[in-house]
Amino acid sequence: MYYFDNSATTQPLEEVLTTYQKVAERYFANPSSAHRLGEEAKALLNQARQQIADILAFKEDEIYFTASGSEANNWFLRAVVPALKERRSKNQAKVLISAIEHPSMLRQLDILSNFACQFELIPVDDQGQIDLIALEEALKDEHVLAVSTMAVNNEVGSRQPLTKIGQILNKYPQIIWHVDAVQAVTACLNDLHHPRIDCLSLSSHKFYAVRGVGIFAKRQRVASQPMIYGGGQERSLRSGTENLAGIVATAKALRLAAERQHQTQAKLSNFRQQIIEQFETCGWHVFAKEQASPHIICAALPPIPGEVLLHAFEQADIFISTTSACSSRQHRAHASLTAMGVPAEISNSAVRLSMSQYTTEDELNYVLGQIPKISQAFQA
């Protein structure tokens, strides 16, 4: 098996699974319980929270745990934005969102009208990077409350210019900036260490941890309504008994990813370039070629549908995807490529290969050998 669908989910590391099992067995008590076992569980929870905060350059009490990255993204629009609106004037408020955001952002935009808010989509260029001139122009509207941008796009891998966006937003300190960083941990984790970023969303299963843990990092200056009401966990903003074993395993996985960033970037940049060259040699279109994370390659062989190409790779025991995992089974259009101006007859053929820090050279060489065979079968 040759697994190249790591943007959908990564395989948990053995050492992370070991941590998960040990915590689940030894620290099974509820962290909210007042007895000794509960206090031990609470201490372990706080330790994991501090470790994650240190890696992300946030404070310990600015880290909140959710059940997924999608929930963390929902938190921003459903709980932070309404709280910001309450603290500002009663005039119509606005949220700026890049046109290539994840469905967990784009598919909830209509709810903003419930808070008397509007949204504006900021376009991207042909590399999938946000149009900085359009962003600057949109920010001149005094009603803008918040901006949300990805760090790394989940479909084409485009890497957003966070430093330049931060420089622009420094002129508007009252505007809150949210970054969906779910795809950034593999090879772009250092991009997130920008002091202007106010909120971050992460998802455990994207960086070799178990599923079921999301992270919402929120600066103290950022107001928020409760995301889930109930027992008062997560400083009363996200109630529900904490997934302690998953959280501790996630903290370990994030630490390992941080320690291996430099090595991962170098290796995957080399691998990605070789795959791109092979695709282009075989007549494929490659997207976001110059401005993408090292771990993602998006390419198309029109007019062959992407789903057909996916199954051709699968027959060669290579597992890839078409669009994001959240959209592939619904056969939705390739939203990111559409926003980049790619015609439908090309974008419908798009597939995504995504690597991990544990992708090997043997796996790479196998894929490089299969791309010409698969291509020739359709071109014939």
Catalytic residue among 117, 188, 199, 326: 326
Nearest-angstrom CA–CA distance, 186 and 204: 11
Classify 345 as helix, strand or coil.
helix
Query: To 5 degrees, how large is the angle CA 48–CA 50–CA 55?
Result: 95
DSSP 242: -
Query: To 5 degrees, how large is the angle CA 192–CA 196–CA 199?
Result: 65
Neighbours of 237 (CB within 10 A): 19
Neighbours of 17 (CB within 10 A): 16
Catalytic annotation present for 326: yes
Nearest-angstrom CA–CA distance, 12 and 161: 29
Residues paired with residue 318 on neighbouring β-strands, in sequence order:
2
DSSP H/E element including 174: none
Tokens, residue 297: 């390659």
Nearest-angstrom CA–CA distance, 268 and 357: 7
Residue with tokens 């059940």: 67
Query: Is there a cis peptide before residue 82, judged by omega within 30 degrees of 0?
Result: no
Nearest-angstrom CA–CA distance, 51 and 255: 8
CA dist 83 → 63, 90, 109, 176, 291 (Å) = 18, 12, 16, 12, 35
Active-site residue list: 326
